[in-house]
C-alpha cells in the first residue's frame, strides 16, 4: 500500500507542477505589459505601437491594432533605450528611443507651439541624432498613453539630453 501512496503522491506533485507552469505561462501572456511606457495608434487606427518595461528589458511592439501577434516584437536590454524631455514656453515634447542593432525606433509625444497635441513614430538607420530617417508615422494623439517620466531611471532607463 505504501508503494501505491508514493505513486499517487508523485502523480499529484507532477500534476500540481504542470498546473503551476501553465498558470505562470498564461499570466505572462495576459500581463505582457505590466509596466507600460507608451502606447498609441496610427492616425487611421489600423496599427499600434507599444513600449513596455519587462524588467530587466524593454519590449517594443508594432502591428495591427488589437492583434495578439504583432508584426514586430523587439526585446532589448534597458541599456539600449533612453528617454528625453524638451520643454519651453512654446513646446513640450517627450521621446523614448529603442535601439536594436543598427536601427532606432523613437516615439515622440507632446504639444506644439499652438498647444495642440502631437505624436509620431520615427525609424532611423543609426541613431536619431546622426542617422538617416527611414520612416515617420503620425500617431493619433488622442490614443496616446504616455508614462515617460523620470521614474524610468528606476528601471535602468537612461535620460538623454538630446531630443
Say if residue 65's pLDDT is above 90.
Answer: yes
Question: What per-residue confidence (pLDDT) applies to 2?
Answer: 64
Q: Output the pLDDT for position 7.
A: 59
Q: How many Å apart are CA 40 and CA 148, to the nearest integer?
A: 13
pLDDT tens-place string over residues 10-57? 544 444 443 333 333 333 343 468 899 999 999 999 999 999 999 899
| Gap between the Cα atoms of 118 and 116, Å rounded | 7
Q: Pairing between strand 47-54 and 57-64?
A: antiparallel
pLDDT of residue 4: 61
Q: For the residues 139-163, what does the mean pLDDT come to?
A: 91
Query: If you average pLDDT over residues 62-70, what whole number do you get?
Result: 95
Lowest mean pLDDT among 33-37, 56-60, 98-102: 33-37
Highest-scoring range by mean pLDDT, 27-36, 87-96, 117-126: 117-126
pLDDT at position 127 is 95
Mean pLDDT value across residues 82-99: 93
Distance CA 115, CA 62 (A): 28
Read off the pLDDT of each residue in 114-140 and give the average, rounded to a whole number. 96
More confident: 163 or 83: 83
In whole angstroms, what is the distance from residue 109 CA to residue 74 CA? 21
Amino acid at each position: 500500500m505504501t508503494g501505491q501512496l508514493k505513486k499517487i503522491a508523485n502523480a499529484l506533485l507532477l500534476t500540481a507542477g504542470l498546473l503551476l507552469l501553465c498558470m505562470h505561462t498564461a499570466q505572462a501572456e495576459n500581463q505582457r505589459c505590466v509596466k507600460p511606457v507608451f502606447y498609441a495608434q496610427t492616425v487611421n487606427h489600423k496599427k499600434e505601437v507599444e513600449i513596455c518595461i519587462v524588467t530587466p528589458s524593454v519590449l517594443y511592439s508594432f502591428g495591427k491594432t488589437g492583434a495578439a501577434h504583432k508584426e514586430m516584437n523587439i526585446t532589448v536590454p534597458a541599456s539600449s533605450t533612453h528617454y528625453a524631455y524638451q520643454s519651453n514656453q512654446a513646446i513640450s515634447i517627450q521621446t523614448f528611443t529603442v535601439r536594436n542593432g543598427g536601427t532606432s525606433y523613437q516615439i515622440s509625444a507632446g504639444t506644439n507651439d499652438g498647444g495642440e497635441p502631437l505624436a509620431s513614430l520615427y525609424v532611423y538607420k543609426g541613431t536619431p541624432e546622426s542617422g538617416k530617417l527611414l520612416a515617420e508615422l503620425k500617431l493619433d494623439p488622442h490614443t496616446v498613453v504616455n508614462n515617460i517620466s523620470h521614474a524610468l531611471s528606476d528601471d535602468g532607463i537612461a535620460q538623454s539630453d538630446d531630443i
